[in-house]
Structure formats: structure tokens, C-alpha cells
Amino acid sequence: MAAEICVTENLQREDLSVIEEGHAVALLLERAGWTFETVGAQVGRHPKWVARRASLWTQQALEDNPEPPAWTKKLKAKKATTKKAATPAAGTKGGKQ
């Protein structure tokens, strides 16, 4: 629990780069097992912000290690859910008929 407190406090600093923010988010997702919503609530950010930072860190980390961390499955599932919700259904305005 102490590590999570330290990481969330560090995320609230203003002098972090986006990669450093992504790393901190990744630590909370991976080691603490938190969700995007939990991380966002703890640091006062929207879950989409958390997902974007996590994605940035993942891109950076994959350059060093081709095996993605386990929490990236959450990110992929979140993106798939968001895409489905944003796509108009067939037969509706904006969809194929």
C-alpha cells in the first residue's frame, strides 16, 4: 500500500514527462492490479487519460522487451468496447442500410 501512495503522489507532481506518467500508471495497473477508473480516481484524472498514459508507456516498454505486460489486455479490451459503442448500428442514421 505504501508503494501505491508514493506512486499516486508522484503522479500529481507537475514536472513529470508523459513517459514518466505512463510508467507510474503502468506500475499501479500491473503491481497494484488497479483499473483505469481506480487510477483515475486516485490521481484526479479521467480513465481515458490513464489509458493514454498507459499506452505511451507500453509503446516505450515494447521497444526494450517484446513481451507486453499483462495489464495491456485491459487496455485492448477497453479500446474494443469503446469502438463498439462509437460505431452506429446498421439501419440507424449514420450507419449502413
Q: How far apart are CA 7 and CA 28, in angstroms?
A: 8
Percent of the chain topping pLDDT 70? 59
For the chain, the residue count is 97
Structural domain contains residue 82:
no
Number of independent structural domains in the chain: 1
Give yes or no for a contact between 54 and 25, defined as CB atoms under 8 angstroms apart. yes
- Read off the C-alpha cell for 26: 503502468
- Between 26 and 3, the higher pLDDT residue: 26
What is the pLDDT at residue 13? 72
What is the pLDDT at residue 97? 47
Structural domain contains residue 62:
yes
Structural domain contains residue 41:
yes
Q: How far apart are CA 82 and CA 84, in angstroms?
A: 6
- Between 26 and 71, the higher pLDDT residue: 26
Domain range for 65 is: 2-69
Structural domain contains residue 51:
yes
Q: What is the pTM of this model?
A: 0.58
Structural domain contains residue 42:
yes
Least confident window among 26-30, 44-48, 77-81? 77-81
Structural domain contains residue 64:
yes
31-56 pLDDT per residue, tens:
888 999 999 998 889 999 999 998 88
Structural domain contains residue 29:
yes
Q: What is the CATH number of the domain that holds 54?
A: 1.10.10.2830
